[in-house]
Amino acid sequence: MRRAASSKRTVLALGVAALGFGRAVVPGSPEVAADVRPSFVFVIADDLDAASVQRLPGLIDRIAAQGVAFTNGFANQPTCCPSRVSMLRGEYTHNHGIHRNFDSSGSCFEAFRDRGLESSTLARWLGGAGYRTGLVGKYLNRYPGTRDGADPSHVPGGWDEWSVPLFQPGNDYFDYSMNQNGRIVERGRGEADYMTDVLAERAVQFIRNAGEEPFFLQLNPPAPHRPATPAPRHAVAFDGLLAPRTPSFNEADMSDKPAWYRDNLTPMTEGDVARMDDLYRNRLRTMLAVEDLIERVDEALLETGRFENTYVVFVSDHGFHLGHHRFRQGKSTPYEPAIRIPLMMRGPRIPVGRSLDHLVTTVDLPATLIELAGVTAPGHVDGRSLVPLLGETPPPAASWRTEVLIERLPAPADDEGIPAWWGLRTLDAMYAEYETGEVEYYDLRSDPDQLESLHDRLDPALLDDLHVRLEEWLSCAGASCR
């Protein structure tokens, strides 16, 4: 069921036709000596849905058009902190045990630390192999903690550079405190304090200061997370633009959905829609500063001679609902807008302008990066390295894997109220089971917007098979997950 099938990069980067963009020029020569260890810039956006990327050609031209775009990228759990933990450790949620952003016992960060999970992360693995490591931007939700005695100067082991904002209610883009290598720096409301721009400056300094060491930079801007405050220079961009009115927008008939959705998601009013459209515009405006951030990173890579030998990965921790199935805003569901993510990558010897429809997940990224660095994955890593997909002749999508696990496991407290669920996203369908005993199944070939669940019309033998396969996934660990 989950068995893997066992050149030169041109200077001109062709546009990714599937995403509808033109072409961009890649500076410099693509030739890199095979024995020179690569560096990495790993960018994780916050709550960015895959559809919105179509409005961000600067992002596409700098990364996807110069490498590969994965059109079937998914978050294992579409919730911020569990997904970010998966990208630090390469584990599914059911193995790392972080199910929510916070609960009655404290924050996600505190649970991560208390479980001893800081002892084995991407930073530890690469730092131990001689890489200079840096985290610039968001770490884990509610860092440095919400309990009495939380230490705002705490820097987890494995990181040489640490420029991380402290949690504050509202997650604003101004008026925040930042832990810079154990020293707390206060930022105000001036234009120079805009968080994404401050992170860009810290990232540039990290690259310039790396010397000749290979480096790993995890760069986590706040955009487009609420409150989605744009930089002043982008305050009126996208004026008049409306959120996409997809077939599931303000869905008229929710009778096929589980009870929680039917009971809690009333039809949107005109006021709801107007507020959602405003949020949509502001989300895109915040992403313009992320485009500027990527441009500044590229300039620093060119300036330091690192451009050709650096992998740049761009991903989001999960997607986001804007009107789909009556959600005014939100995530944490098994539906496409929440689980589908933008995922693109460029770097040494990756063919340019390629679009792949292989099923890949956030859990796969740590295994991919450490293989590219020549580092052996620890035994607990569940994800499958995507390196076989990055060459000139990747295996066909159907022989790569035919399904991926999606899950939202039970937790002591539930910040959004959606019942726990677990499911499979296959090449052409989505199957989910809820803790309430309810089930959903969508044929994505005929119903890509998930308007009509077919669970009550499926052959019982198929439902039994899906359940058995799902149970298999939920009990996997390490190599058995690949």
108 Cβ contact list (under 8 Å, min separation 6): 80, 81, 82, 85, 98, 100, 101, 102, 140, 141, 142
Q: Are 404 and 430 in contact (CB under 8 A)?
A: no
Q: How far is CA 88 from CA 119, 133, 179, 214, in A?
A: 11, 13, 19, 19
CB atoms within 10 A of CB 395: 15
CA distance 280 to 193: 23
How many H-runs (helices) and E-runs (strands) does the chain carry?
12, 21
Do strands 73-74 and 340-341 pair parallel, antiparallel, or not at all (unpaired)? antiparallel
Q: Using the structure block, give the residue that is written with the tokens 């740049």.
A: 312
Report the alpha-carbon angle 476-477-480, nearest 5.
65
342-378 core/surface letters (b: 16 or more CB in 10 A; e: else): bbbbbbbbbbbbbebebbbbbbbbbbbbbbbbebebb
DSSP state at residue 450:
-
**Catalytic status, residue 80:** yes
Residue among 80, 81, 108, 481 flagged as catalytic = 80
Q: CA geometry: angle at 168 spanning 84 and 242, to 5°?
A: 70
Yes or no: say if 348 and 311 are a contact pair by the CB < 8 Å rule: yes
The tokens for 73 are 């990228």
Measured CA to CA, the distance from residue 331 to residue 211 in angstroms comes to 41
Cis status of the peptide bond prior to 224, with omega within 30 of 0: yes
Tell me the catalytic residues.
80
